[in-house]
Chains A and B, each alone.
Chain A
Amino acid sequence: MSSIPSPIPVLSPLRMQRHPRAVVVLTVALLFAGGGLMMHAESQIQVLGLLAAFLVMFAIADRTPLGQDISAICGDYSGFANGVAFVCALGLIVVFRGEHYTLLMLATVALFSTACIALNLQLAFAGIANFAGAAFFVLGSYTAAVMTAYAGIPHLLILVVSGIVTGAIGVILLLPVLRTRGHYAALVTIAFGLLLRSLLEVNDTLGGPQGMKIKGFSILGLDFNRVSSIGPWDVSFYLPYAVLSICIFAVAFTLIRRIERSWIGIALDAVRSDETAASVFGLSIARWKVVAFLIGNAVIGVAGAVYGMMNGFVTPNGSGLGDSLLMLSIIVLGGLGNFWGAVVAAMVILVIPEKLQAIQEFRLLIFALLVLAILLFRPSGILPRPIRDLSRFIGRPGAGA
């Protein structure tokens, strides 16, 4: 922490430390307000202005002592910060309750962030390169499409089954290459993504290139697509989807964060960083890789199922290698292993091309170049994953058992 008194009295380090929770609330609320404005913005100038503001904020957080203090406080109170973020996200939904497009963007960002957190579990923690993220996502949508065709299956069960299907297919793919090390998982997942895409395009029972229609989500007799008002307010029918997406994001976030913080996370770190050493310590490399891959793909499948139900249709288009690479770009830009970084990057990668029509056509090229620059010059990403700090468990009297 810097000991130089800050010229700004409100933000002096001393005050910040006295009211850390207030600092966290203000920071998170500011970020979400910016994100909400970005999703809502209509003119290109507004979007560019917000992007510039975001870059300035990032530079402050990264380079100035004040920003570093704020980041450190948010890191210390991460659980509290996550709770505040959840409330802020719900707050955004309330604010934009009638705006179809903004809510659709919000839900899309939430669902893709969910998928990217799952990819983080696979790539950043377990070290398995999954180059078929978008394919598993679309597979989740197709599973939902096939199952909603039968009335009478509870839709919550459909989400679960979508997760099971994508998880199981992922494991079937991974098992044969577990005996090897290196790039074979990458090869097999790329081949699977392309296989799925060409299969979906030529298979008539699954709708071919036109894809399939999907019925909207309904739970306990509440059909999400028919929602038009809550109490006195007129709301968009995307509102329940946005709430559902954010809840799914929250569940996935909590689950994978718990995994990271538990001994499973430590085992995954060991397996990733040195397979030989990990196996010497009795860790089963294959088991942990399968576990991470299974959970990751299941989460991606669930997110894909909700996304499909929200849009009402699914086509093979989103399942290509380019889309999977876009998902990986999100987690590389956000910093491998950094969940909130992935959310910010998902905002940037999903929302900006929608808003700036000029770059829509060039988005793959631009993001590919951006990822190359990051890999070369800042390999840990824009927001690196914090180093696991176990020092509070050791060296303290009575802490060890």
Chain B
Amino acid sequence: MDVGILAQQLFNGLMLGVIYAMIAVGFSLFFGVLDVIKFSHGDVVTVGAFSSLGAVGLAGGLVALPPVLALASGIAAAVTIGALAGVIIGRVLVLPLRHAPGVNVLLATLMAGTVLREAIRLGVPNGGNPKPFPALLPGGVIKAGSFSVGVDSVMILAAGLLLVLGTHLLITRTRFGLAIRAVAQDGEVARLSGIDFQTVVLGTFALGSALAAFAGCMLGLYYREINFNMGVLLGIIGFASAVVGGLGSMLGPIIGGFLFAGVQTLVVVALPVSSAYKDVIAFAAIIILIAIFPTGLIAERRSERV
């Protein structure tokens, strides 16, 4: 196979991987602090994408903004509204249901995701159809032999990698990160040591959801098209990545995200007939990977109080 095409696929895989990782980190964070799976997380990605689209459109409609400012307003809207959505879901649904059976939390967050999805479908004009996303990043192409990649794609990839790295540093190096890790390890002891449990939990929800919303923004910029139900697939892949990598850890979901993207890209490259079957293969990969690594590459802590 041509080296250029291989590099192209590698780049696609990296891009997918960083997006999956950004979503998976959220799942892992929420599971860490509260032991819950928040299935509406995928739809927060959609909320982010649509918020930035709305902000760009709104700002562009009022004054002719240069692309840089339009992009900044789009990202700001995505991150703010995404974080807000995460905090509201956490405060209204997840915290009150914390002691209910796990299935209830699952159902509640799935239903919350449905509410977000349907609200976008019904609330956005013509929301049932895919929406074009404006190209806000500089054009131009980097060429090396038969390998060519857009400058915008490189910028998106770099931003994603930086954010994942930044989140990692935030968790491992800052006081807030220390508080998150303390709550994740033992909520009661953390409270005894003077950590405000609710603030930390909601802060974690804001952090994870902002990351997911930014990922939605990146997806819009990369694929130039967003869709009201894109969050379903992304949420499931994000959760599966977090599980395969190891729920509750920080590094695990990142590895899981890249692993997933790798498998998906590899299958698309190896089986040329399968472009129509892309989603089928993604879901089959989820089921098979979960079957092989049910407790994750980096195993969960196994302490259990009886």
Contacts and interface: CB of A to CB of B under 8 A. Distances in A.
Interface stretch (B113-121, B179-187, B191-199, B249-257): B113-121
Contact of A276 (B103, B118, B306): B306
A158 B248 CA distance: 46
B232 A375 contact: no
Contacts of B286: 187-188, 191
B240 interface: yes
A401 to B, nearest CB: 32
A276 B243 CA distance: 22
A128 B286 CA distance: 19
B107 A198 contact: no
A224 B111 CA distance: 39
Nearest to A376: B96
A192 B292 CA distance: 16
Given A198-B280, A202-B277, A364 B118 contact: yes
A184 B290 CA distance: 8
Contacts of A187: 236, 239-240, 243, 286, 290
A266 B103 CA distance: 20
A186 B106 contact: yes
A83 B77 CA distance: 59
A379 B108 CA distance: 11
A261 interface: no
A173 B294 CA distance: 13
A388 interface: no
Contacts of A375: 97, 100, 104, 107-108, 111
How would you classify the secondary structure of chain B's contact residues: helix, strand, loop or mixed? helix
A325 B111 CA distance: 8
B85 to A, nearest CB: 14
A198 B283 contact: yes
Interface string A125-159: 00101010000000000000000000000000000
For this complex, into which size category does the number of interface residues on chain B fall?
35 or more
B111 A365 contact: no
A365 B115 contact: yes
Contacts of A372: 93, 108, 111-112, 115
A376 B93 contact: yes
B287 A376 contact: no
Contact of A173 (B103, B287, B304): B287
A321 B229 CA distance: 11
* Residue of B39, B96, B283 with most partner-chain A CB within 10 A: B283
Contact of A322 (B114, B240, B290, B292): B114
Contacts of A369: 111, 115
B107 A371 contact: yes
Interface of B: 37, 39, 92-93, 96-97, 100-104, 106-108, 110-112, 114-115, 118-119, 122, 232-233, 236, 239-240, 243, 276-277, 279-280, 283-284, 286-287, 290-292, 294-295, 304, 306
